[in-house]
Structure 1
């Protein structure tokens, strides 16, 4: 086990989510509310927060939050590199490192996204991914980059496109039953999904995440301190981030074996080795799905299935709570819960392990959070409501 194993915990969560373009406050104001909510959830004074971590080129520099929060002293501020959502799980690892090393004692992990303040997310993401080779081929959007990778997985490795539909259906099933989700109260119309407009083949509209305004925040403290706070602690058991040789947007398709993957193969290996856990120990998965095929690739990379048996595992009835053996995106995921650069998947990871999910998984103890698939740097984390 590494020093990360069970040493820190999420003690409080806060989220504010709105339809894109309708936020009642600028981005920093919405983020401030989410941080205050996370502290209130834990019964913790926001002024005692002394560290901040984010990912995805968040624009909210922590020092600018101090006056709104009454921060007594800022001791730690850091960010996971990269414009995509690959760093979402890695942000929890950074926060834990600060706490374990004694450089901070109470760290907020956050992401905020309000279109009126920071513009469209897709443009920010492509600022990191675009290069002259892509531009010359007319590739200007994340959907196009991921579509080509998806076609490689479908055509070369023989993965059925129907598998991606099963993942989308499961997300919308959970979202329709989650009062906090954008899809709440609305069953997915399969004909509408199958005949929705093309975005970039093989992706139609419902294969794609769609942005929301909002912010999410998590209060992380030592495991010992968390046990004295208001809500049951959710322990960070392990976290891994990075990339293997041959991965990354400057290399793109140089390695034909890596190209159709989500980039998680070395991340998953390290994560399981560091925690002594395996895919069989995971009770529930919260999966960042920017596009449906990339969600499938992420589950393959994390060892839940292979190219050969993927259709046996990624089935609607196997993915839904409470009866599925691999319940995934129980809040609705980026497709149906809402998309604030993936922070909602982490919120659901904590809620599920605290017994607060709208779609509870019976006796769930261990959960996997997978970051944005296909990003140049990716990350995953394992959380537990126990320390096995």
Structure 2
């Protein structure tokens, strides 16, 4: 079976600024990021015929396609959830390009979470199953669910808040080296971490990711076309989604081992289809929405 590397590549990337309370709408930010990615690849907007984004997005492919001046759109898809689900948008477009359903695909995300209320603040909304069984007991936000998972991890493996601080510090140190980062000039100390307010024990303020405004996008084309694009292409070797048996959101109550999750199912599929193994990887980008996710990964 051929791998994705034989067929598809990322030809261009684009993004807007990331900050608190940007004045532009999510649609405007999305279009700016997409146009920047197309310019990076040297591809005209009229050639775009495939789109992939999140179900969580306020923007949709119909409005985006009109706004950027896309041609006939022959493929579009939505990926459930958010955050770590971003890899799947690339997988959907790679499959579409590899099977001839599209020739130029665009994946994007545009959010203004730094400007408005969080979606979980509406606690009076009718609860779907299974949240009706958990929210009455205090699991209202993602932070609450990860806090519960973190407590189990600390119990099983002897992890302490110092271990979580090390993750937060590593992330902040990277931001302190990036002039475009919101935390560029705001170093973190152990005292700041240990004395910060609780968000959901054992998670304090600095165990949680920032909520920001901004957008980013990338362009997926065939490997053959990518060789003639403006930038050196990044080939897609393998992409996988994961949903293990009896999975329950961020906290896996029904699994024999609650510390296993979608990453386990995704990893098995990812490496099965890749043309190299974990030992060949020199750079790891681990989803760090909450500090416990890094050691747990």
TM-score computed with the length of structure 1 as normaliser? 0.70
Is residue 2:118 matched to residue 1:89? Answer: no
Alignment partner, residue 66 of structure 1: 65
DSSP-derived class of the 1:287 partner? coil
Q: How far 1:279 moved relative to its partner?
A: 2.3
Where does 1:212-291 land on structure 2 (aligned, <5 Å)? 212-249=212-249, 252-257=252-257, 259-291=258-290
Rounded to whole Å, the distance in 1 between the matches of 2:212 and 2:98 is: 34
Q: How far 1:3 moved relative to its partner?
A: 3.7
Q: How far 1:2 moved relative to its partner?
A: 4.0
DSSP-derived class of the 2:240 partner? strand
Aligned counterpart in structure 2 of residue 106 of structure 1, from 104, 107, 123: 104
Corresponding pairs, count: 294
Rounded to whole Å, the distance in 2 between the matches of 1:129 and 1:214 is: 32
- Any stretches of 5+ residues in structure 2 without a counterpart? none
Alignment partner, residue 39 of structure 1: 38
| Residues 135 and 186 (structure 1), Cα distance of their counterparts in 2 relative to 1, 3 Å cut | closer
Deviations 1:332-368 (A, max 9, x none): xxxxxxxxxxxxxxxxxxxxxxxxxxxxxxxxxxxxx
Q: How far 1:190 moved relative to its partner?
A: 2.4
DSSP-derived class of the 1:5 partner? helix
Deviations 1:59-87 (A, max 9, x none): 211011122111111111101123x3232
Q: How far 1:285 moved relative to its partner?
A: 1.2
Kept in 2, the 8 Å contact 1:150–1:260? The answer is: no
Rounded to whole Å, the distance in 2 between the matches of 1:48 and 1:253 is: 46
Where does 1:1-388 land on structure 2 (aligned, <5 Å)? 2-20=2-20, 22-82=21-81, 84-115=82-113, 120=118, 131-249=131-249, 252-257=252-257, 259-298=258-297
Q: RMSD over aligned Cα, in angstroms?
A: 2.4
Q: How far 1:6 moved relative to its partner?
A: 4.1
Deviations 1:262-320 (A, max 9, x none): 4311211221121143322111111221210022212xxxxxxxxxxxxxxxxxxxxxx
| Residues 232 and 190 (structure 1), Cα distance of their counterparts in 2 relative to 1, 3 Å cut | same
| Residues 7 and 184 (structure 1), Cα distance of their counterparts in 2 relative to 1, 3 Å cut | same
Kept in 2, the 8 Å contact 1:14–1:218? The answer is: yes
* Structure with max Cα Rg: 2
| Greater relative CO (CA pairs within 8 A, separation 6+) | 2
DSSP-derived class of the 1:88 partner? helix
Q: How far 1:118 moved relative to its partner?
A: 7.7
Rounded to whole Å, the distance in 2 between the matches of 1:195 and 1:289 is: 21
Rounded to whole Å, the distance in 1 between the matches of 2:236 and 2:14 is: 18
DSSP-derived class of the 1:224 partner? helix
| Residues 278 and 41 (structure 1), Cα distance of their counterparts in 2 relative to 1, 3 Å cut | same
Kept in 1, the 8 Å contact 2:114–2:212? The answer is: no
Kept in 1, the 8 Å contact 2:198–2:205? The answer is: yes
- Any stretches of 5+ residues in structure 1 without a counterpart? 299-388
